[in-house]
Amino acid sequence: MSTSRYKIEALARGLEILSFFTAKNPSLNLTEIVTATQLTKSTAFRMVSTLELLGYLERDPVTRYYRPGLKVLHLGFGALNSLEISQIAQPYLKSLSNETGETTNMTIRDGADIIYVARNPSRHIISVNTQRGSRLPAYCTSMGKALLSDLSWQELFDLLGEGPYPKQGPNTITSFDALVSELERVRRQGFAINDEELAVGLRSVAAPIRDPGKKVIAAINISVAGSRITRQELESRLVPKIVDTARQISSSLGAGYS
């Protein structure tokens, strides 16, 4: 028996639009979407506007090109092992953990939180016990700051508000202005440091993972007990390793580097 009578045309068209975004075409403008779908311009605009409103598409305000939002990744989030990005990253993270003897992690951002999608724990005990699927606030974590660094001032304000933010550790950044300054530094340096901002005795260094359009889609870090390493040692010994690993993973995802 045919099931075509149960087909929801608008849903089918929305999913069809998402399917046109590929590694070769990570972003499309409205004209290209109209051509690909053979929809009228007004219908295509309504469809992409709805997908943008729901978080499945994002539009660059300057170029007016659309690209998939993180909601697309979240469609398959229930099965973390099948999430392509974590599968690609896992060998790199495991190698980094073996090389440094420390815990390595990967997260994606879900609103104001980060969600762990990969983790390689070391034998060393650290003060925050997390596992795949765990959620933490983005503003007070190294991976969160790496993920937030891609946002504009307005996007960040809309997401977190002016603060003050709850103090989690002795060095938590609790004001919006201070966080903006910190994220500017993260953006400039290409990595983020957490120096007891999440919890006493926890330090970490993180770097962003980028897609073919150079958009930040994930972050990785090395997490260390503060009693075993100073901030200076963290920066001199582990920063180059996390930045290099992040670039390798990003390149594997199609983000070429010159």
The more confident residue out of 3 and 70 is 70
- pTM equals 0.67
Report the interhelical angle of 84-100 vs 239-252 (nearest 10°). 150
pLDDT band per the 50, 70, 90 thresholds, residue 252? confident
8 Å CB contact between 219 and 209: yes
8 Å CB contact between 157 and 176: yes
pLDDT tens-place string over residues 25-51: 788 999 999 998 888 999 999 999 988
Instruction: Specify the amino acid at residue 256.
Output: G
97, 207, 212, 233, 244 from 238: Cα distances, Å: 11, 11, 26, 8, 10
CA atoms in the 13 A half-sphere facing the CB of 88: 18
Q: How far apart are CA 236 and CA 233, in angstroms?
A: 5
Q: How far apart are CA 25 and CA 213, in angstroms?
A: 9
pLDDT tens-place string over residues 195-229: 999 998 899 999 999 988 888 989 999 999 877 88
**Can you give the residue ranges of every domain in the chain?**
4-68, 78-252
Instruction: Specify the amino acid at residue 200.
Output: V
Would you tell me how many other CB atoms lie within 10 Å of the CB of residue 244?
13
Superfamily assignment of 78-252 in CATH? GAF domain (3.30.450.40)
* CATH code 3.40.640.10 for 4-68: no
pLDDT at 93 over 70: yes
What's the pLDDT score for residue 159? Answer: 94
